[in-house]
Amino acid sequence: MRRPFISANWKMNKTIGETQAFLNEFLPLVRDVKDADIVIAPPFTSLPAAAALMKGSNVSLSSQDIFYEDKGAYTGEVAPGMLTDAGCTHVIIGHSERRQYFKETDEIINKKVKAALKHNLNVIFCIGESLEEREAGKMFDVLKREVEEGLKDIPSDHIVVAYEPIWAIGTGKTATTEQAQEAHKYIRERLAAIYGGAAANIRILYGGSVTPENIDALMACEDVDGALVGGASLKADSFSKLVKFKR
């Protein structure tokens, strides 16, 4: 059985004070949830304050990005060791917004995944096709390339894959359960081509306009093992409902 994995991706939202207020409300709401991994990825500036409040809780801390060098002249970047020092156990890598706005390539993403694993960080590795790619019938090619290039020469332990169709992110247009299951099944087949039987143990999350209203149906899909949630993770009430999806 794959343990459910529900992660918040706050993107560029919340000050330190807002992060603290969220956690003071959220942590008691999910204290009794024992059967899921719960992760929150605040912006860099909130990481230490979040780590302090999460200590000893059942919620883990993630960053939203990482750089692949250990230190040096890389103005504006954050090294893997700085993230573990700030209390992170997880890192989101390859989010479509980073691929799109910051020109991250499969090669860069692959370097970042390697650097994260070297520092014992668990990786939430994001992939997904654009609407144009889907409509041009290239969805499977894109997913295959992103999996094969992004995970090249990387062991499968400590990797969680997030399938996020770009057309569903922040648009209110969730993939249907059929679309999600089709993509997840295909991704698992690609993972099996690389990792063999171990692919059955890799969690594949769905992301893209997940809400308390649609999560139960998504989680009921055979190959959907969790969710990566943006908008609906910003309120403690809504994100706690997501964590408590129908088992």
62 or 209: CB nearest ligand PGA: 209
Q: In angstroms, what is the minimal distance from the CB of 44 to ligand PGA?
A: 17
Q: In angstroms, what is the minimal distance from the CB of 184 to ligand PGA?
A: 16
Taking residue 51's Cβ as centre, other Cβ atoms within 10 Å add up to 17
Q: In angstroms, what is the minimal distance from the CB of 104 to ligand PGA?
A: 14
Name the one residue in this structure whose structure tokens are 């969710």. 227
Q: Where does residue 237 rank: exposed (0-12), middle (13-18), buried (19+ CB within 10 A)?
A: exposed
Active site (annotated) includes residue 104:
no
Contacting positions for ligand PGA (CB under 6 A): 9, 164, 169-170, 207-210, 228-232
CA–CA gap between residue 38 and residue 236 (Å, rounded):
13
Token pair listed for 168: 């569903």
Is the distance from CB of 200 to CB of 164 less than 8 angstroms? no
For residue 39, the surrounding DSSP H or E stretch is: strand 37-41
Catalytic residue chosen out of the listed positions 97, 104, 133, 164: 164
CA–CA gap between residue 42 and residue 111 (Å, rounded):
22
Q: Which amino acid is at 172?
A: G
Buried b (16+ CB within 10 A) or exposed e, 169-191: beeeebbebebbbbbbebbbebb
30 or 229: CB nearest ligand PGA: 229
CA–CA gap between residue 60 and residue 126 (Å, rounded):
18
Q: In angstroms, what is the minimal distance from the CB of 34 to ligand PGA?
A: 25
Name the one residue in this structure whose structure tokens are 């994995």. 5
Q: In angstroms, what is the minimal distance from the CB of 69 to ligand PGA?
A: 25
Catalytic residue chosen out of the listed positions 90, 95, 104, 146: 95
Active site (annotated) includes residue 164:
yes
- The catalytic site residues sit at 95, 164
